[in-house]
Amino acid sequence: MASDVIQLTGVSFSYGAEPALREVDLAVADREFLGIVGPNAGGKSTLLRLILGLLEPQSGRVEVLGRSPRAARTDIGYVPQYPGFARDFPITVEQVVLLGRLGLGNRFGGYGREDRQAMQRVLEEVDAHDLRARQIGSLSGGQLQRVLLARALVCDPRILILDEPTASLDLRLEADIFERLKEFNERMTILLVSHDVAFISTYVSRVACVNQTLVCHPTAAIDGSTILALYGESVRRVAHEH
């Protein structure tokens, strides 16, 4: 039986008087692919920040790989929803990806051979090796998303967390990203936030529905009544064939 790499027990968090999460329990197994869905302001981003150690629970406990989230940070790769830098900042793709090696080993002498080998490897994995010398501001949305994925992978994470990584991409690019994630899932646990329940159900093993509280469902159990209860309104479903 696979061991749990992420455990939340009775976790609550509020921004002032407004509760974001209430009494959340969650166990994520090693090499599981978990989809996270829910309405805007339902607590999805708060959940990720708690797992990443960017927030502390006001009650309950969060453990990642048997440690506190902060202690486990170097074992987590993270792809944010929006790039946390100005697109016109003068930095190359290689330099962006190498940022994912910060906090690993000795940085006083700059990046070493191992860092650069890891950078080259992950750029090839995401089919972005030919972009390595490009300025980050010259990339298309799909190219930028592959580079951000490479930055998250370059630390050889045991857990990969993605916050709506395909929100601005067309269907073809979205499918390409998910096919790559399916391959990466063979060696790491993946948590992915998305609004497209129908699409991610093709790839994920379970769906965590978050709206202050959290309920997990096998993908086969997601139906119209589940979506109605989660979002409070009808949601148009689209079938995707692969």
Task: List beta partners, residue 12.
Answer: 59
Query: How far is residue 98's CA from residue 100's CA, in Å, rounded to a whole number?
Result: 5
| pTM value surpassing 0.95 | no
Query: How far is residue 156's CA from residue 149's CA, in Å, rounded to a whole number?
Result: 12
pLDDT tops 80 at residue 219:
no
pLDDT number for residue 187: 96
Q: pLDDT tens, 79-130? A: 998 766 677 788 999 999 999 998 786 556 678 999 999 999 999 999 999 9
pLDDT number for residue 237: 44
Range of the domain at 45: 4-231
pLDDT number for residue 226: 57
| Total of domains in the chain | 1
Per-residue pLDDT averaged across 171-181, rounded?
89
Say if 86 falls within a structural domain.
Answer: yes
Q: What's the CATH code of the domain at 169?
A: 3.40.50.300
Q: pLDDT tens, 40-63? A: 889 999 999 999 999 999 999 999
Burial group, residue 78, by CB count within 10 angstroms (0-12, 13-18, 19+) = buried
- DSSP category for residue 53: T
Which of 66-70, 112-116, 151-155, 169-173 is predicted with the least confidence, judged by mean pLDDT?
169-173
Say if 236 falls within a structural domain.
Answer: no
